Chain A
Amino acid sequence: MIVVQNVSKHYGKFLANDDISLAVQSGELAVLLGPNGAGKSTLIKSVCGLLRFRGSITIGGADNRSLEAKRLLGYVPEMPVLYPMLTVREHLEFIAKAYRLQTWEPIAEELLRRFELSDKTNKLGKELSKGMQQKVSVCCALLPQPKAVILDEPLVGLDPHGIREIKAVIAGLKNSGCALLISTHMIESMEENWDVTYIMKDGKVAALYRRGDLPAGQTLEDIYFSITESGKKA
């Protein structure tokens, strides 16, 4: 569903992504791990068509900048960006109308209920806490029922209930056949559901692990530190 081939991205002279290739199949959860500055957010933004890059990215076989790809894609940015003068419900209405969704109201109601936002539908974006904003941001991304979902640090700023719901939503999306690419620093939060993990370092994919590839007795966290901190200590 999501195919990234030989993607490189420069910011001036700085090489943020260096010849990266990865693939996420339908019903698969791919985790992007890496220290700060490894190039995870740059890669995610490139996949979402927010940055220019060299190489090729397709969503459902279509170029990621095409309208076909955009119809399949949902994106939750690292920092929630809401419109301060729109209510929670209007955010969803705007997405529904911009995407020309036909029967969106029941889906919106369900999302609002799951994230405990049903009683806040008339609250303005600027009146919400950061955690609430993150929840609305997730609702906006999921409303069009995308087939590929990209989440950049989705758990940051959420309360325990929000974290539990996001994890449940992620599991549900995976079971329904959605392709998921998630960037996170909270390694343990993905331990249950991950299928494939890409560990990034210095703009490159330093390692690729499938769930079955993990050596016995080792966790994702052990692998992460062995790769990202190799060469730091004698």
Chain B
Amino acid sequence: MSALVYIIRKSMKNSLKELGKKPGKLILYLLVIAAILGMVLLSFIRTVDSPAPLFWFSGILFLFIALFVVNAFAKGLSGGDAIFEMNDVNLLFVSPVSPRKVLLYGLVRMAKTSFWAGFFILFQANTLANFGVDYGGVLLTFAGFLLSMAVLTTASLLIYSVTNGNAVRKRIVKCLAVVLFLPLAVFLAVQYFTTQDMATALEITIGSAFLRFFPVAGWTSSGVTAFLSGDAATGLLFLGLNLLLCAGMTAYILLSNPDYYEDVLVATETAYEKKRALADGNMGAATASKRKVRVAKTGVSGSGATALFGKHMRENLRENRFGILTLPSALIALGAVIMILFGRELSLVLQILMWLQIFLIGTGRGLKETYSHYIYLIPVSSFQKILWSNMEIMARTLFESALIFGIGGALIKAHPSFILICILTYTLFSLLLLGVNYLFMRFFGADISAGLLLFIYYLAVILAMAPGLVMAFVAGAAIGGDAGYFTGLLILSGWELAAGLGCFALSKGVLHNCDMPQMKTGK
């Protein structure tokens, strides 16, 4: 055991030492800590007069964790979850350390990964305050999330261990995954047909035993909500179910199959290969799924720079089940429409989508293209290459926003001019983000650490948007009402267009005058 304790202790110590050598990373951490402290202070200052009912919070938390439940099944059926790294495989697995202790070490490491995965919850104090949840409640939610992740990672390991190489068992687990959700879906449908009102049906479903006793997601959401309502006994009962399941599964793995190394090897190797592909600039291989793809129609259209667009469309149509929309963007669109339906307004969803877009802009094939050499070598002007390689994300954003605000706006009977201005604001924001990204490539290249780069990027986006936001706010406030709001968004769109084009002008010739970026993975 001392070897494992040594690794954990030494890794932590070296990570701290590294901070001294990388001031950018240290600044980033300090800013994150300051932001969390700011959130804590805000939660003391801010009071919500009429908080939203807590069951909505419970429902949202359930949905969030339910996504991870689906993911755990998917991971378990494909290759298990990566709780180890290749260095563990190469050094620990072959060493004379008990496999049981090594598994325990893996679970401790996994807790660290889960901590970062749920870290953003700590920044949700403002959102959760709308449900009357204070910062103690935020921490409780975070703890509940961590517990869920521990259970689900162990579950995916167990599923892989049990179904690996056995088609019949795999089918049984797939059926089980569907059966798990079936009673809840049927109950919701029955409630909807009975009440003829989706909001009421959802409220009843969230309070029902079908949801509360749903494994992991239901237990955690009900447990956290019970604690928040002051019912500690019920809270302990539900969170205890999670602990019990996790302990049971771990015991089963250890007692029934101490030779579990083979079971975790595939996931570890896959994760390592992806990390290595990223570091080598092979962005496509790093993000490619293992799903079998049937090659039907072939060919790449276009000539010169337009061939980039032709290639992206061929890749999209082959990779995505929803055509130009990726699975995450289809899910976001669906979630956004539901939010519009319940919130009865477009502006909040527009704000959330714009925040998300800061992260999601990188999912466009145009920016990914800059990590491999082809685009730099094609003998066409840099401007044309950038234009056509980003046509895919612009088309996707336009389509996505037309879908979200078109359907959502129609459902709540919003004025067509509001729907159009939301589509325009969202789409042009993507143009601005692309501009900022290329500007960064032009001026920073490979000479800056990833953490610091990310921080400066956020700052740059905020600075680039600030004048437009100020002008929009002033004009909106001066005119007032719906007309003011419309004018504000129109000004903001105009600013996004001007600032975006300005960024592109400043990054002129970027593809022929920059360092090809490299993904920093810590490989």
Residues in chain A within 8 A of chain B (CB atoms): 10-12, 45, 48-52, 65-68, 70-71, 73, 75, 77, 79, 81-87, 89-90, 93-95, 97-100, 122, 124-126, 140
Contact = CB atoms under 8 A, between A and B. Distances in A.
Contacts of A10: 447
A97 B307 contact: yes
Contacts of B305: 98
Contacts of A89: 298
B379 A71 contact: yes
A12 B447 contact: yes
Given A75-B373, A81-B284, A98-B305, A124 B300 contact: no
A48 B377 CA distance: 7
B378 A50 contact: no
Interface in B224-281: 280-281
A81 B515 CA distance: 17
A97 B315 contact: no
A83 B446 CA distance: 23
Contacts of B373: 48, 50, 75, 77, 81
B512 A83 contact: no
Given A90-B314, A93-B300, A97-B300, A48 B308 contact: no
Among A79, A82, A83, A93, residue most surrounded by chain B Cβ atoms (within 10 Å): A83
Contacts of A95: 374
B5 interface: no
A88 to B, nearest CB: 10
B377 A67 contact: no
Contacts of A50: 373, 376, 515-516
Contact of A79 (B282, B308, B380): B282
B468 interface: no
B67 interface: no
Nearest to A123: B295
Nearest to B449: A12
Contacts of A71: 379
Contacts of A49: 376-377, 512
B164 interface: no
Contact of A100 (B303, B381, B512): B303
B378 A82 contact: no
Contacts of A70: 377-379
Leading 5 A-B pairs by shortest Cβ distance: A84-B288, A70-B379, A97-B307, A85-B315, A65-B512
A182 to B, nearest CB: 17
Contact of B293 (A73, A75, A90, A124): A124
A85 B317 CA distance: 9
A11 B447 contact: yes
A93 B300 CA distance: 7
A125 B512 contact: no
Contacts of B515: 50-52
Contacts of A48: 373, 376-377
7 contacts: A48-B376, A71-B379, A90-B298, A97-B300, A97-B307, A98-B305, A126-B288
A82 B285 contact: yes
A77 B280 CA distance: 10
Given A93-B299, A99-B379, A126-B285, 15 more contacts: A12-B447, A48-B377, A52-B514, A79-B282, A81-B280, A81-B282, A82-B285, A90-B300, A94-B310, A94-B311, A97-B302, A97-B303, A97-B304, A122-B298, A126-B284
B285 to A, nearest CB: 6
Contacts of A75: 373, 377
Contacts of A99: 378-379
B130 interface: no
